């Protein structure tokens, strides 16, 4: 049986590099072993337990800053990504198209914070709005 440390490092390497399982270097063992152990850990909740333990230790040591940053420059949902069935949509939403009623993440955060959507002082506006005038002429 392979050492868990070697397999976990193989999983981390695979996700960090964005490679296919079959391209995993042999130093981590057979890619099939790494994949099977990852699948088993995902299914039985081992990864969730590990993450919870790591977060609680880091939080107790003061190593986590729980500040959240939201960038809504490109944040769109596919028409099938909504939770409403077609019958539940209002006539007004059907007339406006598939993305009607879908707010950007920045708008949702502004609503939660009680800020107005159209208030520039809130600082939660689309990224392209501030950048339009700052770019030099295209040549």
With a CB cutoff of 8 Å and minimum separation 6, the contacts of 117 are 107, 110, 111
**Which tens digits make up the pLDDT trace of 112-136?**
665 444 444 444 444 444 444 444 4
**Which tens digits make up the pLDDT trace of 1-60?**
678 889 999 999 999 999 999 999 999 999 999 999 999 999 999 999 999 999 999 999
Residue with tokens 């420059």: 73
pTM for this entry: 0.46
Domain residue ranges in the chain = 4-60, 79-131
Q: Which pLDDT band holds residue 111 (cuts at 50, 70, 90)? A: low
| Residue 11 Cα to chain centre, angstroms | 19
d(CA 110, CA 41): 37
- The first and second tokens of residue 43, run together, are 């299914």
| Residue 129 Cα to chain centre, angstroms | 23
Residue 97's Cβ-side half-sphere holds a number of Cα atoms within 13 Å equal to 4
Query: What is the arithmetic mean of pLDDT over 62-88?
Result: 73
**What burial class does residue 125 get, using C-beta atoms within 10 Å of its C-beta: 0-12 exposed, 13-18 middle, 19+ buried?**
middle
Q: Where is pLDDT greater, at 108 or 37?
A: 37
What is the length of the chain?
A: 139
Contact 11, 38 (CB under 8 A): yes
Listed residue (47, 52, 63) closest to 15, CA to CA = 47
Q: Which pLDDT band holds residue 109 (cuts at 50, 70, 90)? A: low
With a CB cutoff of 8 Å and minimum separation 6, the contacts of 61 are none
């Amino acid at each position: 049986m392979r050492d868990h440390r070697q397999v976990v490092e193989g999983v981390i390497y695979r996700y960090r590099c964005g490679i296919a399982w079959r391209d995993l270097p042999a130093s981590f063992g057979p890619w099939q072993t790494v994949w099977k152990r990852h699948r088993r850990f995902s299914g039985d909740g081992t990864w969730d337990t590990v993450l919870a333990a790591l977060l609680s230790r880091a939080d107790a040591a003061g190593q986590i800053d729980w500040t959240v940053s939201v960038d809504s420059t490109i944040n769109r949902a596919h028409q099938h990504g909504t939770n409403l069935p077609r019958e539940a949509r209002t006539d007004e939403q059907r007339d406006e198209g598939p993305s009607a009623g879908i707010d950007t993440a920045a708008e949702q955060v502004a609503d939660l914070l009680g800020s107005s959507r159209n208030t520039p002082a809130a600082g939660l506006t689309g990224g392209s709005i501030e950048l339009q005038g700052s770019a030099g002429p295209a040549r």
